[in-house]
Amino acid sequence: MKKHLYFFIFIWIHIQVSSAQAVYTNPILSGFYPDPSICRVGEDYYMVTSSFAYFPGLPVMHSKDLLSWHQLGYAMDRKEQLQLDGAGVSRGLFAPTIRYHDSLGHGGLFYITCTHVEKGGNFVITASDPKGPWSDPVYLPDVNGIDPSLFFDEDRTYLIYNSIPPDNKPLYDGHRTIRMYELDIHTLKTKGDEKLLINGGTDLSKKPVWIEAPHILKKDDWYYLYCAEGGTEFNHSEVVFRSKSVAGPYISYDKNPILTQRDLDSSRKDPITSTGHADFVNTEKGDWYAVFLGCRPYTGGHYNTGRETFMAPVKWIDGWPVINPDFKEIQYSYPAPVITGPIFTSKVNEFASNQLYHDHFDGKELNNRYTFLRTPEKKFHEVKKGKLWINLLPTTCAEKKSISMVADRQNHLEGYVTCRMEFQTQAENEKAGLIVFQNEYHYYFMCKSADRTQPVVQLFKGPGNPTSPERAMDAAQLLTSIPLRTFNNAIVFKIEVNDKGYSFYYSIKEGEWLLLRSSMAREFLSTETAGGFVGCMYGMYGTSNGKPTVNTARFDWFEHNGK
């Protein structure tokens, strides 16, 4: 009798749990993960985002349910693939596209197209496994523009991209086109003549700006060309065209844009703005979703988390795809697509904004979510003996060179980042600690150093808008320098961020926090202030400020959390 009772209780619980609709939360990749592109192969979803001057480049994410994401690695993780020295932080790799194609029916290839705006322009890389290794870039010298995307149409392959206006004579600022080449998928060379698909955007007479991020999909005998329009800030949007021929002519949907937040009340709570740059994917069940970039400003147009990746449902209405048709605002959560796997599998998305991240460095390798600024000439870090060891390089964070910083994205509007560091120096030029870094001119750096051989804790602020390109520390502003009344080489740093700004604390005695400086303006690190395309990074960073050293900083743990 008891057995039957337990069985019925189990079934009841199972029904309750399976009927409790799982949801996913936005952003699905929180922190600076812009320009997302997604594809599905069977039950596996793969997504890539742009990475600019960070190395390795082009993070490759994987999911089986569009709810929880895991990073497989990077598509450009070899210095032979990706050289970034001299590139400003918002230069390097712009928007990628990831696609899969099995041209010969016996095991396909993954393709990523992208643009290195400093070196070489548009290129294709391929891999049989998205974990890599990916090939070296094959550059496409005929392709003039950005945001290249591949479309496979039975036995023919097309490359579409944002490009110059007709005859390169813009009628207005932001006048761009969408152009297309056929591509030989075996030689990865363009074929035939370039075709102009879209001039300006949905309606040239209205002077549409920045038609970009084109993708084509084919459905019900229609070719759908969908693009970003309006520029990647507040006026961003997604628009769609269609044609019976891949080469056009393409007709604009009369209800464009199919996604924008620009017309909403700017005083709404927790706004998601600047949405656009979308890519569509369908589930095995036939449901459609769009991933796209968006921003979470904390006041006005200021956001420090960069352009993040969001996802919303897509409905086909009268033969046209519409993103988020049931709401005006992009929602912070939606019902999750069909959940695969055992019903009790915990479905946590480690890249959601409200996830605690803690690292004790007790493995042999660095977690692949960390990133470096530009391509390291040689390895400057090592995970050993339960610590992250960073060799101090002479370069500093305002030079357009590789620096000894191991960074993770600031992925919350309010929260904290903290780390424990062992570091000892008597040299004033040697500094190591915790930095919140937007770009070469906009950062706050809390560090341990020396003043007349005595240990001090210091806070630096970047010089602000571009100054002459000399070494940064000369231009950086020393806000505070306090003697450390201990020769213990361990120190714990903590940076808190909230509506009052960034506050900087340190501790040299268990449980006792000392305030270094409070309420430093968040706006100083926003994209609105700093410009560019990136978001803030929390970095474990050291520099010897121009003088080579063998000194190291050892980090026992690193943690951040927030919402």
Which residues are tagged catalytic?
35, 212
Minimum gap (Å) between residue 148 Cβ and ligand 6LW? 10
Output 162 or 404, the one with its CB closest to ligand 6LW: 162
Minimum gap (Å) between residue 301 Cβ and ligand 6LW? 15
Task: Give the Cα-Cα-Cα angle 271, 277, 278 (nearest 5 degrees).
Answer: 95
Minimum gap (Å) between residue 231 Cβ and ligand 6LW? 8
Output 95 or 492, the one with its CB closest to ligand 6LW: 95
Q: For residue 127, give the nearest of 116, 135, 138 by alpha carbon.
A: 135
Minimum gap (Å) between residue 506 Cβ and ligand 6LW? 36
Rounded Cα distance, 37 and 82, in Å: 20
Rounded Cα distance, 197 and 195, in Å: 6
Minimum gap (Å) between residue 212 Cβ and ligand 6LW? 4
Output 213 or 432, the one with its CB closest to ligand 6LW: 213
Can you read off the two tokens belonging to residue 508? 């040299």
Region at 19 (left for phi over 0; alpha for psi -120 to 50; beta for the rest): alpha
DSSP state letters, 210-233: --EEEEEEEETTEEEEEEEES-SS
Output 212 or 440, the one with its CB closest to ligand 6LW: 212
Task: Give the Cα-Cα-Cα angle 269, 315, 335 (nearest 5 degrees).
Answer: 55
Distance of CA 329 to the CA centre of its chain: 22
Q: Where are the beta strands (DSSP E) in 154-272?
A: 156-163, 177-184, 189-199, 212-219, 222-229, 237-243, 251-252, 259-260
Output 28 or 146, the one with its CB closest to ligand 6LW: 146
Q: For residue 59, give the nearest of 126, 129, 130, 139 by alpha carbon.
A: 130
Can you read off the two tokens belonging to residue 320? 């046209």
The amino acid at 357: Y
Instruction: Tell me the residue number closest to ligand 6LW, measured at CB.
Output: 232
Counting DSSP H helices and E strands in the chain, the numbers are 3, 39
Output 212 or 399, the one with its CB closest to ligand 6LW: 212
Output 111 or 210, the one with its CB closest to ligand 6LW: 210
543: CB partners within 8 A, 6+ apart:
392, 393, 394, 395, 396, 397, 403, 404, 430, 431, 432, 473
Can you read off the two tokens belonging to residue 155? 């036995």
Minimum gap (Å) between residue 560 Cβ and ligand 6LW? 24
3-state secondary structure (DSSP) of residue 10? helix
Output 309 or 425, the one with its CB closest to ligand 6LW: 309
Using CB under 6 A as the criterion, which residues of the chain lie in contact with ligand 6LW when the complex forms?
34-35, 50, 94-95, 146-147, 212-213, 228, 232, 277, 293, 533
Q: Are 535 and 232 in contact (CB under 8 A)?
A: no
Q: Are 348 and 333 in contact (CB under 8 A)?
A: no
Minimum gap (Å) between residue 193 Cβ and ligand 6LW? 25
Positive or negative, the Cα torsion across 29, 33, 465, 173?
Answer: negative
Output 28 or 95, the one with its CB closest to ligand 6LW: 95
For residues 93, 95, 100, 103, the Cα torsion angle rounded to the nearest 10 degrees is -80
Minimum gap (Å) between residue 317 Cβ and ligand 6LW? 25
By CB neighbour count within 10 A (0-12 exposed, 13-18 middle, 19+ buried), where does 106 fall?
A: exposed
Q: Are 32 and 539 in contact (CB under 8 A)?
A: no
Minimum gap (Å) between residue 520 Cβ and ligand 6LW? 27
For 5, the enclosing helix (H) or strand (E) is: helix 2-19
